[in-house]
Amino acid sequence: MRQAALGELEQTANQQQLDELRVKYLGKKGALTEILRGMGALSAEERPVIGQVANEVRAAIEGVISAKQEEYRKAETANKLRAETIDVTLPGRPVPLGSVHPLNKVIQEVEDIFIGMGYQVAEGPEVEQDYYNFEALNLPKNHPARDMQDSFYITEEILMRTHTSPVQVRTMERMKGEVPVKIICPGKVYRRDDDDATHSHVFTQIEGLVIDRGIRMSDLKGTLLQFVREMFGQETKIRMRPSFFPFTEPSAEVDVTCMMCGGSGCRTCKQSGWLEILGSGMVHPRVLEMSGYDPNIYSGFAFGMGVERIAMLKYGIDDIRHFYMNDLRFLRQFARV
């Protein structure tokens, strides 16, 4: 019987057949049960022997059944999981992601570098008094340098600021002669330019100002070098060129190693290897005087950069108007770290 049972069990293909065999051999009317039930008719000597044999047969059958059962369960689970298979290449459900405007991305980056160097971020009005925008910056009325930046006036004394420098003046006034002054001033500025690929009647500047005792032009150079290295990479070099701003003396234009070609020369840098990105200089003593700092005791430096220019170089953007047209196909490109 054992042979027969094990042989039949071997042939089963599914849980149902297995259950049938269990009933056939081990059920209440099963073959083995019948044998055990018939043991009463046996002699006292035969009973333990047969009993033992019967139990061994039962154990063997049960063992095979449970092994088979485990096998079927596994197979069933595997089938179920197989049926649940999905296409992992289908697109994921979007978790919406927008982006900070590229100009603000650049501003935040510059701010963070200077905050790390101990600067405060200062702001001031976009509609300014002529005094703060020009006069206090050594640009009296009728000064020829006012030609450099044709302005949007509102009244004779009120205009859209043409640079963020008035924030420097306001900060110095507020500090009432205290040092050190260490600020950067980001913000929108306005000039009468026709909008084209390289001009915009509104654009963004970041200026910096430091005033303390014993500030030297070499400190300006060192500060800007540290900044451009953090901004554009540790290999970046700077080069200064004498220039003119009414509110600084000496004044300098600052070129940095072209980030497109690393200085070997390309179209962006007109083969020079350098890109002009900053204006800077030592604060003009007249500006210090007007804001309550004695130029014989204090000195300082100032610098300024155009955010659009930096963003255009950094991202390879060819038209300044993109920043203000807000074409989403443009803006979405900046939804990245």
Partner 1 sequence: MKVSLKWLSDYVDVSGVAAEDLAERITRSGIEVDSVEERNQGVSGVVVGHVVSREQHPDADKLSVCKVDVGSGKLLQIVCGAKNVAAGQKVPVALVGANLPDGLKIKRAKLRGVESQGMICSARELGLNDRLLPKELQEGILVLPEDAAVGTDVVALLALDDQVLEFDLTPNRSDCLSMLGAAYEVAAILSRGVKLPEPGELPSTGSGRAADQVRVGITATEQCSHYAARLIEGVRIAPSPLWLQNRLMAAGVRPINNIVDITNFVMLEYGQPLHAFDADRIRGGRIDVRLAQAGERIQTLDDVERTLAPDMLVIADGERAVAIAGVMGGAATEVTAGTTRILLESARFDGGSVRKTSRRLGLRSEASLRFEKQVDAQAVIPALERAAALMCAIAGGRAADGIVEAKVGEPAPLTVNLTLARINGHLGTDLSAAEVRAIFERLHFRCELVGADGFAVHVPSRRGDITRDVDLIEEIARLYGYDNIPTSLMSGVTTPGSLTREQAVRRAIRNLLSLSGLQETTTYSFTHPSQIAEYPGLYGEARPIGLAMPMSEERSVLRTSLIPHLLDTAAYNRNRNVDDVLVFELGRVFLSDEAQPTKLPDEHWHLAVLLTGKKHSAHWSGKAEAVDFYDAKGILDKICTYLGVTDAKYTPIQPAGLHPGRSAEVAIGGGAGAGSERLGWIGQLHPALAEAKDLDATYVLEIDLGVLIRHADFHIGYRALPRYPAISRDLAVVVGRDAAVGDLLAKIKETGGDLLESVQVFDLYTGEHVGAGNKSVAFSLVYRHEGRTLTDEEVSKAHEAIVQALATTFGAQLRA
User: Could you say which residues in the range 71-110 bind partner 1, by CB under 8 A?
Assistant: 90-91, 93-101, 103-104, 108
Q: Which of the listed partners (Zn ion, partner 1, none) does 90 bind, with a CB threshold of 5 to 8 Å by partner kind?
A: partner 1
Q: Which residues contact 124 (CB under 8 A, 6 or more apart)?
A: 132, 161, 164, 166, 167, 170, 171, 185, 187
214 binds partner 1 (CB under 8 A): yes
User: Could you say which residues in the range 139-198 bind partner 1, by CB under 8 A?
Assistant: 142-145, 147-148, 152-155, 158, 160, 180, 182, 188, 190, 192, 194
Question: CA 150, CA 181: separation in Å to the nearest integer?
Answer: 29
Which of helix, strand or coil describes residue 282? Answer: strand
Give the binding-site size for partner 1 (rule: CB under 8 A). 88
Going residue by residue from 268 to 287, which x/- string records binding to Zn ion, judged by CB under 5 A? xx------------------
Question: CA 143, CA 336: separation in Å to the nearest integer?
Answer: 46
Q: How far is the CB of 204 from Zn ion (least distance, A)?
A: 24
Q: Which of the listed partners (partner 1, Zn ion, none) does 91 bind, with a CB threshold of 5 to 8 Å by partner kind?
A: partner 1
Q: Which of the listed partners (Zn ion, partner 1, none) does 261 bind, with a CB threshold of 5 to 8 Å by partner kind?
A: Zn ion
270 binds partner 1 (CB under 8 A): no
Query: Using an 8 Å Cβ cutoff, are 275 and 254 in contact?
Result: no
Query: Using an 8 Å Cβ cutoff, are 211 and 179 in contact?
Result: yes
Of the candidates 191, 306, 295, the residue with the CA atom closest to the CA atom of residue 249: 295
Q: How far is the CB of 281 from partner 1 (least distance, A)?
A: 9
Among 37, 213, 235, 294, binds partner 1 (CB under 8 A): 213
265 binds partner 1 (CB under 8 A): no
- The CB-based long-range contact list for 94-101 (8 Å cut-off, 24+ gap) reads 97/335, 98/335, 99/331, 99/332, 99/334, 99/335, 99/336, 100/334, 101/323, 101/331, 101/334
Q: Which of the listed partners (partner 1, Zn ion, none) does 97 bind, with a CB threshold of 5 to 8 Å by partner kind?
A: partner 1
Among 26, 36, 217, 260, binds partner 1 (CB under 8 A): 217
Output 67 or 158, the one with its CB closest to partner 1. 158
CB atoms within 10 A of CB 4: 11
Question: CA 114, CA 183: separation in Å to the nearest integer?
Answer: 8
DSSP letter for 320, please: T
Question: CA 132, CA 134: separation in Å to the nearest integer?
Answer: 6
CB burial of 308-321 (b: ≥16 within 10 Å; e: otherwise) equals bbbbbbeeebeebe
Among 167, 254, 258, 283, binds Zn ion (CB under 5 A): 258
Of the candidates 236, 266, 241, the residue with the CA atom closest to the CA atom of residue 252: 241
Among 35, 117, 266, 290, binds Zn ion (CB under 5 A): 266
Q: How far is the CB of 259 from partner 1 (least distance, A)?
A: 20
260 binds Zn ion (CB under 5 A): yes
User: Could you say which residues in the range 283-312 bind partner 1, by CB under 8 A?
Assistant: 284-285, 299
Q: How far is the CB of 316 from Zn ion (least distance, A)?
A: 12
Output 203 or 274, the one with its CB closest to Zn ion. 274
257 binds partner 1 (CB under 8 A): no
For strands 120-121 and 181-190, give the pairing: parallel
* Tokens representing residue 208 in the block: 């910096």
Stretch that binds Zn ion, among 125-133, 157-165, 175-183, 264-272 (CB under 5 A): 264-272
Q: Which of the listed partners (Zn ion, partner 1, none) does 260 bind, with a CB threshold of 5 to 8 Å by partner kind?
A: Zn ion
- Residues of this chain that bind Zn ion (CB under 5 A): 258, 260-261, 266, 268-269
